[in-house]
Amino acid sequence: MPKTLENFSQEVGRAGRDGKPSVELVLSASYKKETKIGCAENFARGDTISPNSVLLWLTAGVFGVPLAPDGALEANHYQQAKAYDIRPNVLLNLYAQLELKFGLLRAITPCYQVYDYTIRDEKSWANVDKKSKEAKTVLQYAQSKSSGYHIDVSLAAEHSGVPRADLTRVIQSWEFSKAVEVKASQVRHRYRVLKELPSGNSGLLSAIANQLYEGQLAAEEEAIEKIQGVLQFATGDECLAHSLAVYFGDDKAVPYGSCGTCTQCLTGQGVEFNPNYIATVDQTALRNILGACLDRDDPRMIARFAIGITSPRLTTSKLSSHALFGTMVGVNWEQLVMLIDAECAAAGYAPAPDGSYDHLTQRRASGAQKSSNKPASSKTTLTRGGSSSGSYEKKSYTPYGNTYGGKSSRGRGRGGYRGGRRY
């Protein structure tokens, strides 16, 4: 079923593109009785992140990191999405609001964090610059791999003190000399600072976080209202073509307000439809969900696991591939979150202990090793000291706990609650 009338209009246009009569069907239920329209509404809630994750992202991921040498704020969106359990499209939207709504940042040209290069011509390679400070730094921090070399220029710049732009310039000069073939990856988004940042101002950070969270809730409710609008349109008494034209502001498009071919015109009445929400949550199923997902710091995350909505955190912990993932699809969202919240409150909104999901990771790794029949290899790599925000910081606080020198210790919860209060 289309989630908005705009989507429906586009599909109608595709059906009539050849100018011939077409049949447009609106399928409002799946083959399973229990996964009707409630499922579509639940998925509309998948982008909203917990309020405390918003605050932690602002405090540690955005405004808690040093600026780049040129004064720009840099962020690795991929790492931030995993660290703060934010979908990539939602993360882009949050940064856009910091620019458009709060006037704090402005997006500028991004850069790459990782470069892989392979020597393509030994003669040309022998003649390129390898003696400058910048070239020596690249060679020092580049790590050998099966075919060529790999270097995190941001990390190398952080450890060596050589500006990243200079390291990148050396690699590019090698490429221009046709000595190496280069592949860049891991985009670092960059933002120009427009005014004083609220770093360390807990009151202002909380106010911004609350506004961002309320904006997410408003967008979520708008999406649900649009789904309800499609249902009302498809099941109402009026001609479908006329109703659609009226929605887009043209009440004269359909003569006499009747197309004469839709179900409503042919039968003279609307369509009966029961959304069939599962209002009563199966307590046995809920206990199984809580037994599999041991975190108690984010009720929304557990609810997403129950109804089958992926998120970076669920993917990282391998819970998205768990057998119980999505087994409560179609259950009323508010009822489910309310019950899960009660369980989380009783547990003090505590995250799961370290290693709680190691068995899921080990199971997948074991299966992959058996299928490939190759022993796992180990490599020595540079680390950023646990800074999941992609910053220059060697010590930082992330939603996964305090990190020092790459070692993690559990701290405050990662999700939307702490200390028994909702944030």
SS3 string of 63-95?
CCCCCCCCCCEEECHHHHHHHHCCCHHHHHHHH
Per the domain annotation, does 29 fall within a domain? Answer: no
Single out the residue in 188, 217, 243 at which a domain terminates.
188
Single out the residue in 188, 204, 226 at which a domain terminates.
188
Q: Of 1-10, 82-91, 100-109, where does the model show the most confidence?
A: 100-109
Per the domain annotation, does 379 fall within a domain? Answer: no
Per the domain annotation, does 72 fall within a domain? Answer: no
Per the domain annotation, does 352 fall within a domain? Answer: yes
Instruction: Name the strand (E) or helix (H) holding 301.
Output: helix 299-307
Per the domain annotation, does 68 fall within a domain? Answer: no
Single out the residue in 325, 340, 357 at which a domain terminates.
357
366-370 average pLDDT score: 53
- Total domains, the chain: 2
Residue 18: the pLDDT is 81
Per the domain annotation, does 292 fall within a domain? Answer: yes
Residue with tokens 């850069």: 111
The pLDDT tens digits of the residues spanning 312-327 come to 999 999 999 999 999 9
Per the domain annotation, does 141 fall within a domain? Answer: yes
Residue range(s) defining the domain that contains residue 153: 109-188
User: How confident is residue 404, by pLDDT bands cut at 50, 70 and 90?
Assistant: very low
The answer to whether residue 258 scores a pLDDT higher than 90 is yes
Per the domain annotation, does 256 fall within a domain? Answer: no
Residue 362: the pLDDT is 67
Distance, CA of 232 to CA of 270 (rounded, Å):
10
User: How confident is residue 70, by pLDDT bands cut at 50, 70 and 90?
Assistant: confident
3-state DSSP assignment of residue 205 = helix
Residue 367: the pLDDT is 54
Residue 399: the pLDDT is 35
Outline where DSSP puts E strands in 173-257. Answer: 180-193
Question: How are strands ordered across the β-sheet holding 143-145?
Answer: 73-75, 180-193, 105-119, 148-152, 143-145
Domain of residue 170, CATH code: 1.10.10
Distance, CA of 391 to CA of 216 (rounded, Å):
26
